[in-house]
Amino acid sequence: MARPVGPSDPGGQRPQVVLGAVTTGLLNTSEPLPLEAARQALALLPGVSPDWHRHPIEQVVSPDIFFGLDCRLAVPPGAGSQPRVIGTARARAVLTAGHILQGSARVEVLLDANRRRLPWAHYAARTGVVEAINRADPADLVTGFLQGAVNSTVLDLGKTGAYVMSLLDRVPQIDRQPRLKTETGRLLWAVHVQDGAEPDSLVELRDDGMLRVRIGTPAELLPQFVEFCEILALHHWLLSALRNAFERSNRRGRRPEGELDPALSYLGHMWNPEAHLPHEMRGLWQRLENEAQLTWEWKSTVTRVRDKVSLLTRKAIEEALHKEVV
C-alpha cells in the first residue's frame, strides 16, 4: 500500500543505494484503536489523509514526513573514510489491526552528485534523497549500514522511525496502559539498486536480535520491497512477543494467566504475512518460509500457549470441584 515512489531526482539521476529501518512495537494503549480513530491518529500532516485497508486485517499508513540530514554513512573497517551525505529522509507510521505500530524510515542515496553542500532549496526539491559529497562504493554503504553500529555522527534511521512512532503518543485515545510487556523490534534493510541484474537477497538475524535484510533489485521494485520489510518486521516481532510472554508465564512467582491472556487477545489473531504482501514479493517470502519456517513456529507457539491455558483452566476447575467435595 505504498505511495508511489516516483523518480527521485528530476535531473534524471537514480539512487544507487537505498537504506531503511523498520521499528516495531505495541501501540501504547490497552485496547486496539478502531479504524476510524486510527485514520485520525495517523493523519500526521494536515491536509493529507492516510491510506488504509479494512480486509483482511485493518491497516492504516500515514503520509510520509521528512527529516533533514547532514551526517556520515557508515562503511566497513578498512573501506576508507565515511562519506558525508546531505538531504532528507522520509518516514511513515504503519498501524496494523489498530494495535501494532511501526515507524518505517528510508533514504535514497545519490552517489557522485555535488562536491559541496548546496543551498537548501536544492535538497527540499528532492524529498527522501541524500547526496553524498565524497566518493563511495555502493557495496560498502550497504555493508556499513547493516552493521548497525550507530553514534551521533552516522545515519540512524532507527531513531527516525522511533520518533515517528512517538508522534502517536499524543493521540487522545491512547491511554498508555498496555497489558502486555513487549520489546521493540528492529530491522535494518539495504538495497543495492541494480537495474537489469538478477535480484538476490539475504535475511540475517544476529545475536543482537536485529533483523538485517540485504537485497539487490531494480528500482521499480523498491516500494514493494519496503512493504516486504515492514511485513517481515511485523511478523518477527509478533513471534518474539508471543514467545517472550510464554516464557515469562513459566517463571516462578508469576501469574501465568497475567501474561497469557493479553498475549492471546492482543496477538493471537494477527498472523497473516500474505495479507498485504505485494505480488512481486511472494516468491521471496516463500523462500524465506521454506528455510526459516516462521509460520510453523508461530502455529506451534500459539498451540503451546493455548494448551497451557487449557491445562490451567482444567486445573482451576478441578480445584474448585475438590473444594466442593471437601
Partner 1 sequence: MFSAVPDAAPSVFHERNQGTTVQNLGLSHLSVAVGHFYMDELENGEEPIRTQFERVKPWLDAAKASAISGGERPRVSTCFLVDDYFQHWPDAPQIMEKLLRLSREAGVTIDYVARESACARRLDGFQTAELVATRLLEEPFPEGANGGRPPISMSGWMSNGKPPRESRVLETMESHVWEPAHEFGERNHSIYLDVELWDSQGRPGGEDDGELGNRRYSCPFLAAVWQLIRLGLLRQDGQPALKVTDFDGEWRTEWDQCPDIVKVNPSAQPFYAYRSLSILPRTFLPIEHSVQNIINHFLPDPAVVESLDRQAGAKNVPLPPVIADRLSHFFLAGGN
Binding residues vs partner 1 (CB under 8 A): 1, 3-4, 6, 10-11, 39, 43, 45-55, 63-72, 84, 86, 88-89, 105, 117-122, 124-128, 150, 152-157, 159-160, 162-163, 199-201, 217, 221, 279-284, 286-287
Omega cis (within 30) before 32: no
Q: What is the C-alpha separation between 187 and 189, in angstroms, rounded?
A: 7
Position 134, amino acid: N
Nearer to partner 1, 77 or 119 (CB): 119
Which 3-state string (H, E, C) describes 177-197? CCCCCCCCEEEEEEEEECCCC
Here the contacts of 47-56 (C-beta below 8 Å, separation 24 or greater) are 51/1, 51/3, 53/1, 53/276, 56/272, 56/275
In the complex, minimum distance from the CB of residue 324 to partner 1, in angstroms, rounded to a whole number: 53
In the complex, minimum distance from the CB of residue 300 to partner 1, in angstroms, rounded to a whole number: 25
Nearer to partner 1, 24 or 249 (CB): 24
Nearer to partner 1, 61 or 267 (CB): 61
Give the DSSP letter string of 41-72: HT--STT-PPEEE-SSS-EEEPPPEEEEEEEE
Nearer to partner 1, 50 or 98 (CB): 50
Nearer to partner 1, 125 or 316 (CB): 125
In the complex, minimum distance from the CB of residue 82 to partner 1, in angstroms, rounded to a whole number: 10
The dihedral through the CA atoms of 7, 11, 17, 19 has a sign that is negative
In the complex, minimum distance from the CB of residue 180 to partner 1, in angstroms, rounded to a whole number: 27
In the complex, minimum distance from the CB of residue 1 to partner 1, in angstroms, rounded to a whole number: 8
**What burial class does residue 248 get, using C-beta atoms within 10 Å of its C-beta: 0-12 exposed, 13-18 middle, 19+ buried?**
middle
Nearer to partner 1, 74 or 174 (CB): 74
In the complex, minimum distance from the CB of residue 238 to partner 1, in angstroms, rounded to a whole number: 22
